[in-house]
Amino acid sequence: MNTDNSPNIEFSKELKVETTSIPGMLLIDIPVHGDERGWFKENWQREKKMALGFPDFGPVQNNISFNAEKGVTRGIHAEPWDKYISVGSGRIFGAWVDLREGDSFGAVFTAELDPTKAIFVPRGVGNSFQALEDNTVYTYLVNDHWSAEAQAQYTFLNLADTASAIKWPIPLDKALLSDKDKKHPQLADVIPMKPKRVLVTGSNGQLGRALRDVFPDAEFTTRDELDIADDNLEDARPWRQYEAIINAAAYTAVDNAETPQGREDAWKINSKAVANMARVCTKYGITLIHFSTDYVFNGENHIHDEEEPFSPISVYGQSKAAGDIAASVAPRHYILRTGWVVGDGNNFVSTMKNLAERELEPQVVNDQVGRLTFTNDLASASRHLLTTGAPYGTYNFTNDGEPASWAEIAATVFELSGRSRDDVTGVSTATYFASKDGVAHRPLQSTLSLDKIKATGLAPREWRQALTEYLNNQ
């Protein structure tokens, strides 16, 4: 019903969220309940809106703009945070222009808002409005605090440059504008706002180097540049400006982890640092991509799926299992469980190739069974999960194909290098390590089920094919 006090408000609307012509921007109908005294509404109700597909954008500040006269016009400003905009009193004509880098740059959407409507404006979309009534109250929630660094990322557009695309109810030459808003650049001169950043830790390792090819615009860091195990990690970056953290840092010295110093280092890097990153990701709505290992299992099952309980048999495996638990606390997380990693640098395949070229005949264990994982494929799987909207959670990833022992893989390397497969002798793990001290227990069965990752539309390459290409490029 309408009342004399609020003649332009349609009361008792149903809560509804609609998409708009600008990607990620949402128009919201808000139920308003009124009588002769006035009206009431739930302006922001997180659970109800999320149930309708609204993003959990984590507002931290509420701002109010009071507009004394009809015709006050503000904008067009794009800030590096999301906004939830609504009207407390009066009406506005809102106009939004996509100023983000990408195909939708320059797209325009307009709508009239009163207390029964709100709009969600993603980071980088230029916002402007015109008051259609005296004493209009315009209010908005944002999910980051102002800072000098954030202000340096603002993007502006001249209001007059939108005259052909935006039909302002009150012509701009008759509206009330600030001098600043009259001087902003034309659309052709606007530098688009770049996407949120992706941070990659452990950037100097085999996987880190592969991630550089897949995420060329990411920020890559080493432990010397960013100590992810530091208790003050939350203060190390303006985290609201990050979309994802890809954690390629890990302590992988399996045998050395059994020593007192190695144990300390393994737990610090594989567990504590991951917990720090998960805490940051939880607070700032960042997606965490973390890499796990087959060593979180004891290797008794012939194939391991994502639901198998942890059963590590080494300090390294224990520290990685703890890291998995920590990573899973972040609401937005992908844990990629992998094994037998091969990339740019020293690894099992490069060692076998070197032995083949030197005409040596190695002994290699033949009772540890699994599949190789090539870092370029693992890096691509990371991007696949991050960009396709796959459900958050844990995913196994290795290359596909028939599982093989280390000895079989070594023999294949020898064969592809022009040597005989018979030049590789298979021995048991117990025999191989019989005369060695300080050796960590290894899982014998390391084959990971790939059904879950395949269900997302990703088909891992067969490991023998990938191995052939790898050796051809050496």
Cβ–Cβ under 8 Å, residues 30 and 42: yes
The question of whether 33 is a catalytic residue gets the answer: no
Neighbours of 303 (CB within 10 A): 16
Residue 164 confidence (pLDDT): 65
The CATH code of domain 16-189 reads 2.60.120.10
Helices (H), 88-237: 148-151, 179-182, 206-214
- Band of residue 9 on the pLDDT scale cut at 50, 70, 90: low
> How confident is the prediction for the chain on average, in pLDDT?
94
**Does the pLDDT of residue 41 top 60, yes or no?**
yes
148-157, 297-306, 331-340: segment of lowest average pLDDT: 148-157
pLDDT digits 0-9 by tens, 199-213? 999 999 999 999 999
Encoding tokens for residue 75?
């904008």
- The rounded Cα 160 to chain-centroid distance in angstroms is 37
Closest Cα to residue 13, out of 384, 23, 27? 27
**Does the pLDDT of residue 432 top 60, yes or no?**
yes
Question: Can you say whether residue 22 is alpha, beta or left, with left for phi > 0 and alpha for psi between -120 and 50 degrees?
Answer: beta
Domain boundaries, the chain: 16-189, 197-472
105 CB burial (10 A radius; 0-12, 13-18, 19+): middle
Pairwise CA distance, residues 450 & 459, whole Å = 9
Residue 150 confidence (pLDDT): 81
pTM, entire model? 0.86
pLDDT digits 0-9 by tens, 129-142? 999 999 999 999 99
Is the fold of 16-189 the same as that of 197-472? no
The question of whether 140 is a catalytic residue gets the answer: yes
Residue 5 confidence (pLDDT): 44
What mean pLDDT do residues 328-349 have? 96
Could you say which of 138, 140, 242, 395 is catalytic? 140
Per DSSP, the residues of 74-114 read: EEEEE-SS-EEEEEEES-EEEEEEE-BSSTTTT-EEEEEE-
What architecture (CATH level 2) is domain 197-472? 3-Layer(aba) Sandwich (3.40)
**Does the pLDDT of residue 262 top 60, yes or no?**
yes
Residue 4 confidence (pLDDT): 41
Q: Which helix (H) or strand (E) holds 350?
A: helix 348-357
pLDDT digits 0-9 by tens, 436-463? 888 999 999 999 999 999 999 999 999 9
Cβ–Cβ under 8 Å, residues 101 and 194: yes
Cβ–Cβ under 8 Å, residues 448 and 396: yes
Beta strands in 306-403 (DSSP E): 333-338, 341-342, 363-365, 369-370, 373-374, 393-396
